[in-house]
Amino acid sequence: MASTASAPAPVRILTVCTGNICRSPVAERLLQAGLDQVMPGGFVVTSAGTRAMVGDPMQPLSGDIVRTYGGNPDGFVSRQLTSKILRGVDLVLTMTSGHRGEVLQLDASLLKRTFTIREFARMLDVLDDRADTAAGTAADSAAQRPAAADGGDPLSANTAFWRGLPARAASVRHLSLPADSSENDIIDPYRRSPDVYRQMEDELAPAIVSVLRHARVNLPA
């Protein structure tokens, strides 16, 4: 019997907040929904909390935000961040700088693959602006996309591209620094008013859009 090649590994992304019931679930479900449209089967997005409300569902107002942007909040269950969960993750996107520090306490090897989601989004925006400037024409832009090797699988090319993305993003960090370090963080709306949930949405949604745009623009040719 002829052997079958193993399926290419998807890109593994983890989003992290505190309770894993307000912020990181929204990021998880919206990133997964958007990336599934870009490349079905190419990404697996999960989430966890540094002090998780283990076993709890997503907060109702967070679920409403997910639905607003076309995601599905159903079936979500909060889980505690552990070193086991971090094992094998390609990219960690945290909701605050403090969460980033807690991730690195568990696994220092993730130093170059862990960012707050807002800082990562700004870095991707810089990369995209540079690519737009360099491209000049639609044909040039398409030529800059990651290409699958002859006979290769686009999923494999996509995974390779994303595994190299943290280093490329970090190389333009100096061009994407915020005026205030608080602009790296997403506000925690837990047990607060609907207005604070709206502020969370206003801070988180643009970052998610930037990540999804980068994925779409760099879809393997």
Residues marked active site are found at 17, 23, 132
CB 76 within 8 A of CB 66: no
CB neighbour list of residue 121: distance below 8 Å, 6 or more residues apart: 206, 207, 208, 209, 210, 211
Q: How many CA atoms lie within 13 A of 110 on its CB side?
A: 26
Measured distance CA(161)–CA(216) in Å, rounded: 12
- Write the DSSP string, 20-37: SSSHHHHHHHHHHHHHHH
Task: Return the number of other C-beta atoms located less than 10 Å from residue 114's C-beta.
Answer: 24
Nearest CA-CA partner of 34 in 149, 204, 221: 204
**Widest Cα–Cα separation across the chain:** 62
Measured distance CA(29)–CA(74) in Å, rounded: 10
